[in-house]
Structure 1
């Protein structure tokens, strides 16, 4: 089917295999070349496919790049190495695969950039450093374009500061970062920028207005001839505009990156921060700390915030409709609330979502607790909410005693025991 779509689009498709040493492993490259009649003297774009594999959105953007004269090498590292597509496996990929890709690409002697999104940003930066250690010409690669990169070792205990992979502090080649305005990591952008700059990387940042993470992956059907009709096939007009702009954004990044500093000296890397951290699941006890107050408005127009005089437990939950685990836990959260109608308050704070969308979405749920809207994510940032959903249990003393950074079933015996503990009810 993919071959048929490519043929219909008039694009040349070629295959390229890049050996990875003497082990027999190789990278399988899909080459998307400019169509007939379009000059092929543009840049070489190395597109490191996301951990989820080939998708309609990135493929459509790659073909749009080819229509502008670029040649795109699409590489699915996980598929080439026969690795299961798990978060841990992605984050454990070392620099050799992407580094070997870069090493082969610069033989083409043309402006070259590597593009990656989400968790594949970490193997991509490792690959740049691997190549940097072996090259005599660091200027041969313009740099990397990272789209909503996930550069953290994993989700810590909810409320604790997440830790960046050490490759960030070991990257001094130039990077362009496309950060969605409504993305999960938007409020961490300044700190991330400072880390790159401290490492010596010329970091360029472009905030993509009105969209959230994965915006270019929400296209369901490939648009291989043109991106002009995206407004009719994508639900979100802002996402349609952002995807239409992405090929131009990438191409404009290349001269910026190429003109930046390309050090030949490789930065040292901290081996203690090269592996992902184990995800913390279930309610975790934390050192009690004052719960940040908030002033938000719920879907009925009522003001919502922590009640300082409430002699019970208050649960501050951060969620979003695009998060399956968030949605799955709503019914059990309501069942827990029904057990303690006078002793438990729940605030299901919706992260960066429109009230109109939420009202329609919540029609499928019968809940007694309010759904306040955190339109710019400032309250989530106060709580250092990193993963979604994240929840914080506030006791009558106004302090957070437990937290969880994943979806859970709320009406279990284990959770009930914790609630009773905080309510100082003797467990039978």
Structure 2
């Protein structure tokens, strides 16, 4: 074994020592025991995500591992599994807000700054929990990233002001909205931003060019969507920066 090979082997061992593997954490709440996938990190930022995917997300796990390697700890609670619910939108209504706030409380016990993140209809969980958390005068969470939020109560009628779920407009935390440039929902970003700001939330919105909503979950992803999926960790870190986070 030559010197170059030995040096490479040592570097790989050092890198492996700094990368912490995913661990499973169980959080007991009054309504259910929730299994949380934790991607530990040494930094001061914790990203609490609600994929509602029955623990089967692939792109999200890769992104979480990449963020962990960059010093951002990631928690992914399996809300559907905890309540034995099917992966359908109507299941969200069966997830108690108190269970979500219990997980937020557990995350804040780490002493890290906690940011919430979710995509699609799952963003309603984030807003609902954040609203109750603030109403109970707890230590505030640092902000929220809402990716491709689907927060309409019903299918919007062209030409009419859309009606949003009740949780919209009831928070005071910094919010980052991300939407795909190839989805009609991008045209509703300003309206949604205005609604979210009604109780004092500071809202920033950005359109991701050349991608559709849920691009990282699609089987028919195009080249642009594949590229953005591979750079999701960077996209989230930029979003945290827009929310005022400087320790990343």
TM score, norm. by length of structure 2: 0.82
Counterpart-to-counterpart distance in 1, 2:156 and 2:175: 26
Q: Say whether the 8 Å CA contact 1:118–1:150 is kept in structure 2.
A: yes
CA gap of 1:252–1:122, structure 2 versus 1, over 3 A, is same
- Pairwise mapping of residues 2-401 of structure 1 onto structure 2 (< 5 A)? 11-21=20-30, 23=31, 25-34=32-41, 40-51=42-53, 53-138=55-140, 141-155=141-155, 162-218=162-218, 235-258=221-244
Q: Aligned-pair distance for 1:11?
A: 4.4
Q: Say whether the 8 Å CA contact 1:91–1:120 is kept in structure 2.
A: no
Q: Aligned-pair distance for 1:187?
A: 1.1
Q: Say whether the 8 Å CA contact 2:52–2:87 is kept in structure 1.
A: no
Counterpart-to-counterpart distance in 1, 2:222 and 2:125: 30
Structure showing greater radius of gyration is: 1
Q: Aligned-pair distance for 1:159?
A: 7.7
Q: Aligned-pair distance for 1:61?
A: 1.1
Q: Say whether the 8 Å CA contact 2:83–2:95 is kept in structure 1.
A: no
- Please give the per-residue CA displacement for 1:331-380, whole angstroms capped at 9, x wherever unaligned: xxxxxxxxxxxxxxxxxxxxxxxxxxxxxxxxxxxxxxxxxxxxxxxxxx
Task: Tell me how large the CA RMSD over aligned residues is.
Answer: 2.5
In the alignment, structure 2 segments of 5+ residues that lack a partner are: 1-15
- Please give the per-residue CA displacement for 1:86-117, whole angstroms capped at 9, x wherever unaligned: 22122453422221111111111112211100
In the alignment, structure 1 segments of 5+ residues that lack a partner are: 1-6, 35-39, 221-233, 260-428
TM score, norm. by length of structure 1: 0.49
Higher mean alpha-carbon deviation, 156-165 vs 193-202, is at 156-165
Q: Aligned-pair distance for 1:175?
A: 0.9
Counterpart-to-counterpart distance in 2, 1:137 and 1:65: 24
CA gap of 1:163–1:52, structure 2 versus 1, over 3 A, is farther
- Please give the per-residue CA displacement for 1:164-206, whole angstroms capped at 9, x wherever unaligned: 0121121221111111111231111111111112231100112
CA gap of 1:235–1:185, structure 2 versus 1, over 3 A, is closer
User: Counterpart of 1:185 in 2: which secondary structure?
Assistant: helix
The number of aligned residues is: 228
Counterpart-to-counterpart distance in 2, 1:66 and 1:92: 31
Q: Aligned-pair distance for 1:45?
A: 1.1
Q: Say whether the 8 Å CA contact 2:156–2:162 is kept in structure 1.
A: yes
Going by fraction, where is helix more abundant, 1 or 2? 2
